[in-house]
Structure 1
Amino acid sequence: MGSAMCEAWQRSLIEEDELVKKAATTIPRLLEHPGITLDQASRLHVNIDECVERMDVLIMALEENSVDRSWIQMATTIRNSWERLAEDAAKKVLVFSGTSDTTVRDDSMRKVMGG
């Protein structure tokens, strides 16, 4: 992989890391806001799930291009952070639907939400 391409991956990962860190402080507040609607929580979940999917694609590309393992690990950590936020949003949607979030296993969240 060329130097310019490597720099692009690195820049992209650094930006994604900053984004998920901001999201990790903002999204829980949004989900706990008393005025949040089912539609807002659902759209938030879909948007976060798209971030998970984007990171899955990026991780595969990094692995296929034999990028240094430390960058792949960083991408995986970012992806897992997005996944946790997606699960939190899915739980909020389930609360709206009347399903207790304690009765649904975390690993089934994406199935329940269509992910």
Structure 2
Amino acid sequence: MAAEWSSRLKGHADLVQNLVQEVPKALGRPSLTLDQAARLHEVIEKGIRDFDEVLRLMDQTDADEKFREAAESLARSWQHLCDTAEDKVRSMSEPDQSAENVGEDLSAQLNDNDEKERADTDRKQ
């Protein structure tokens, strides 16, 4: 049984190392759609579920402390990836509050200009 969890732990270490590089790039793409971000989040959640199974297998054996520390580090990395993807999905699915505020601020500025004297734009030289 130790051979099963140890090879899977190694596989997760390799996968997470790759994902830590690729996920931020993918989430930062300007052309990323909400559907793509949601699917990436789902894939990461599936990875976490699989990793949880590895942790359960480790708990059933007398795993060395260095493996447990590595597993804890991987669990933190998985969770960070999941949180990052979830934040992106949430930000893409919520209305853009900053754009609304900019429009309101601009409207207020334009209204302020109505109170000032108008420039003579018809003046001939």
TM-score of the aligned structures, taking structure 2 as reference length: 0.69
Structure 2 distance, partners of 1:7, 1:84, is 27
Tell me which of 40, 44, 49 is aligned to 1:53.
Answer: 49
Paired AA for residue 70 in structure 1: K
TM-score of the aligned structures, taking structure 1 as reference length: 0.75
Percentage identity across paired residues of the two chains = 28
Paired AA for residue 61 in structure 1: L
The CA RMSD over aligned residues, in Å, is: 1.7
Q: Which runs of 5+ in 2 are unaligned?
A: 97-125
Aligned to 1:42: 38
Larger radius of gyration: 2
Structure 2 distance, partners of 1:38, 1:53, is 23
Q: How many residues align?
A: 96
CA 89–6 in structure 1, closer or farther in 2 if over 3 Å, else same: same
CA 99–63 in structure 1, closer or farther in 2 if over 3 Å, else same: farther
Runs of 4+, deviation exceeding 3 Å: none
Aligned residues of 1:59 and 1:76 also touching (Cα < 8 A): no
Q: Which runs of 5+ in 1 are unaligned?
A: 101-115
